[in-house]
Amino acid sequence: MAASGILPTTQQRYVNGVPLSTARKTLRMKEKYVILLVFVTFGSVCFGAIFFLPDLRERVNVSEMRKHMQNVDTIIFPKPGEGGDNLSPGKGKILRHDNNGIDSHKIDDKERLRKQMEIQWEQEKMAEAVAKRLNMSKDDTKKVQGEILGEKERILQKKKEIEDQQKEEEMEKLKEVQKDHEGGFGAKGGEPKDAQAAERREEIRQMMLHAWNNYVKHSWGANELRPISKRGHSASIFGTLSLGATIVDAADTLYIMGLEEEYKKARDWIATSLTFEGSSELSVFETNIRFVGGLLSLYGLTGDQVYKTKAKNIADKLLPAFKTATGIPQSMVNTKTGSSRNWGWASGGCSILAEFGSFHLEFAYLTEITGDQTYLEKVMKIRETLNSLEKPNGLYPNYLNPRTGRWGQQHTSIGALGDSFYEYLLKSWILSGKKDTQAREMYDAAVRAIDEKLVKTSQGGLRYVAEFKSGRIENKMDHLGCFSGGMFALGAEGSDNAEKYLKLGADITNTCHESYDRSATKLGPEAFRFDGNTEAKSIRQNEKYYILRPEVIEGYFYMWRITKEQKYRDWAWEAAQALNKHCRVEGGFSGVRDVYQEKPSLDDVQQSFFLAETLKYLYLIFSDDDLIPLDKWVFNTEAHPFPVKAA
């Protein structure tokens, strides 16, 4: 059939400059081929101009390029759902990968395969259309397809070269920051020389695998696992969204334990599925310490850019909560509208000391690695407000009104509501390479007041940190307050009396161990008291539960690292055995309702901090000190290590 309409029928034709006497209405094969090649070249140039040249001009904008590619996807290919999922190319459909089913080892290969299939499908369609128009044979069509494929591969190759170069440049920049924060890349090893420690460390790794694998199996993507009913669980602090809290909280522990396959699975989920774009009201504090802290720690450990970007995006969602007259953030924020408010139960609409006082590590490090001053400004404003206030007896009350800047109810505690505020003063100083002397001075003053006013000794000789409530001392200590044993010991160096504070740390850790040892399960209660004959035991039913919390084991970790006394490893092993005996079930680990019962009933929740903190501290206790050394790393309050700035 004639290819009518391509050349005007009256056009004079020449061969080697000699006019031909007859006019012809059809094209020879060679001519068709040449025309087709012109199409191919034109098509390739357009392809390159649209997707490639803009990036060449801007040099480093690979994410823009990616956006272009994604847009093209949705124009050329049907969206998942329109054409089904795993469908073959060539039928107007493309093989797509479901995030949940990703084999983490093969993600790069899959991406390459996807691109190749897209190219091939596009090339086939283009060539088919032109060949039909030119009435070409199948063989010639194939040849042209090859030409198109070659061109596109060359363009993609060039694009990849630019992406690689950009990655290299980013790694160089990161190394500059890391030079300052010496923790630097990677933190693996710590293989113990001691054979018993090695065996125990391996047992802790197996416990982590049991907790993680069950989460993966029964509640992947949910915030937490219900290990008995074997389904997802979410506490109100995470709002209504499934944010994979366990994945983000556990990932650095997996990395540190060298569980590579599991770590990669977590990393891929974070890269592809972690988003705070939905509408939900979240706890600003919990989101910061678990999500922002977890991601920043992963960035510090691996240098992987994806964590920095995600941490920044999530931190930005929290910023509206800081828009108050004093700069003291409110407790909850709506991720969509940005509206924020305080807990209904908090005295007079106040913000909570432990919450608004636990942003400094994350926000200072975020400013450091992004160069964006916003985050540091926010936490410095909090500090400025606190410094302008008078502290009753040198103590910080747990409640502060973010509008008036006045203290609320006079309740001071190193446990619930107060705890990590003190921790962050000390650790901000450490993170800064000991340059943030203002933080150190605030810490020293606060601890001096606590030591004078709240540290008590029981009749049986146990030292504890009491609470001050409604004008009187309450002889009670929370499990949460047991972290302070480690904090006092860590803060001894750099204080005006290292021996005194190291002893205080050891005494508090000993008391917290007693609270475990005096129970039937050898696990400690949520709170314990010192009243009359009661020593380090709960008397109220609603204080007898244990929800897999880390603070006592955290205390053993610091005491072990600082003193190297074997008893801390032994106590940690007692706790690990008790966890296996009473909390381990087929579907993971669960909290218990009453530590004083031989066979306690279970609460059916595997808290994300069990994987982030409890198991991480246990593992580090049985590792040698070159794994996360304390002069190079500092842990946030959720046990996520950040690299310390060089002194």
Catalytic residues: 526
Shortest spacing between CB 518 and ligand DMJ, in angstroms: 20
Q: CA nearest 364: which of 296, 310, 451?
A: 296
Shortest spacing between CB 486 and ligand DMJ, in angstroms: 12
Q: How far apart are CA 199 and CA 193, in angstroms?
A: 11
For 342-350, which contacts have Cβ atoms below 8 Å and span 24 or more sequence positions? 342/402, 346/399, 346/408, 347/399, 347/408, 347/409, 347/411, 348/399, 348/401, 348/408, 348/409, 349/401, 349/403, 350/399, 350/400, 350/401, 350/402, 350/408, 350/409
Shortest spacing between CB 613 and ligand DMJ, in angstroms: 6
- DSSP-derived secondary structure letter, 550: -
Nearer to ligand DMJ, 192 or 524 (CB): 524
Nearer to ligand DMJ, 398 or 420 (CB): 420
Q: How far apart are CA 209 and CA 584, in angstroms?
A: 12
Nearer to ligand DMJ, 141 or 288 (CB): 288
Count of CB atoms within 10 A of residue 306's CB? 17
Nearer to ligand DMJ, 484 or 510 (CB): 484
Shortest spacing between CB 636 and ligand DMJ, in angstroms: 9
Shortest spacing between CB 381 and ligand DMJ, in angstroms: 22
Count of CB atoms within 10 A of residue 499's CB? 9
- DSSP-derived secondary structure letter, 236: G
- DSSP-derived secondary structure letter, 529: E
Beta-carbon contacts of 564 under 8 Å, excluding residues fewer than 6 positions away, are none
Shortest spacing between CB 163 and ligand DMJ, in angstroms: 38
| Signed CA dihedral, 154, 159, 163, 168: sign only | positive
Q: Is 641 helix (H, G, I), strand (E, B) or coil?
A: strand
Shortest spacing between CB 183 and ligand DMJ, in angstroms: 20
Nearer to ligand DMJ, 312 or 549 (CB): 549
Nearer to ligand DMJ, 33 or 343 (CB): 343
Nearer to ligand DMJ, 47 or 558 (CB): 558
Q: How far apart are CA 488 and CA 491, in angstroms?
A: 5
Nearer to ligand DMJ, 550 or 600 (CB): 550
- The residue of the chain with the least Cβ separation from ligand DMJ equals 637
Residue given tokens 């949940």 in the structure block: 100
Per the CB < 8 A criterion, the answer to whether 619 and 209 are in contact is no
Shortest spacing between CB 549 and ligand DMJ, in angstroms: 4
Shortest spacing between CB 315 and ligand DMJ, in angstroms: 17
Shortest spacing between CB 481 and ligand DMJ, in angstroms: 10
Q: How far apart are CA 261 and CA 264, in angstroms?
A: 5
The pair phi, psi for residue 291, each rounded to 5°, is -85, -60
Return the structure tokens found at 127.
């060539």
Nearer to ligand DMJ, 123 or 420 (CB): 420
Nearer to ligand DMJ, 136 or 222 (CB): 222
Amino acid (1-letter code) at residue 559:
M
Give start and end residues of each alpha helix (H) in 471-629.
Answer: 483-492, 498-517, 551-563, 566-578, 608-609, 615-621
CA distance to 479, 495, 574, per residue, from 523 (Å): 11, 33, 9
Per the CB < 8 A criterion, the answer to whether 335 and 313 are in contact is no
- Residues forming the site for ligand DMJ (CB under 6 A): 419-420, 480, 549-550, 609, 637-638
Neighbouring-strand partners of residue 225: 232, 606
Q: How far apart are CA 539 and CA 514, in angstroms?
A: 15
